[in-house]
Amino acid sequence: MDQCSIHHAHPLKELEVFSGSILGKSIGAQNRRVREMATAMKERFDRDVTFTVEYITQGDDGDRDEALARSIACLANAMLEPGRWKRKNLQSWKYVAAAVCLRELERFQGGLLRRI
């Protein structure tokens, strides 16, 4: 968030990073520098989320047997902890943990989740 901001004194907000990674090039950038920074930010965001998801599902040893348990623990932790990182309160971690947990629950149920 600090490195991809236009002005170093004003880092990007989490919502700007998250929405920028979703909207990306669809809204069009004003100039080449902004477009390059948006692309780099999206690539970093995707890389970091991919790493986090793989770490939750595979752990240190690549074992997927405990993926559901780890994902539930991560979701529980995300809901209890304020998500502090360098003085910033990050909320997107909760959504990543919830998505992984739902995916692992679906995999555990054989691909089917019942409606509530």
Neighbours of 43 (CB within 10 A): 11
In a domain, 83, yes or no: yes
How far from 20 is each of 5, 26, 32, 42, CA to CA, in Å? 12, 10, 16, 7
In a domain, 9, yes or no: no
In a domain, 91, yes or no: yes
In a domain, 4, yes or no: no
Quick one: which of 48, 56, 54, 51 has its CA closest to 73?
A: 56
Domain total in the chain: 1
Q: Name the pTM for this structure.
A: 0.69
**Could you tell me if residue 14 is left (phi over 0), alpha (psi between -120 and 50 degrees) or otherwise beta?**
alpha
In a domain, 93, yes or no: yes
Tens digit of each residue's pLDDT (9 = 90 or more) over 60-100:
888 888 999 999 999 998 888 665 555 556 677 888 999 99
Tens digit of each residue's pLDDT (9 = 90 or more) over 25-71:
444 556 677 677 777 878 888 898 999 999 999 988 888 889 999 99
In a domain, 57, yes or no: yes
In a domain, 116, yes or no: no
- Give residue 44's domain range: 14-108
- 3 state SS of 58: helix
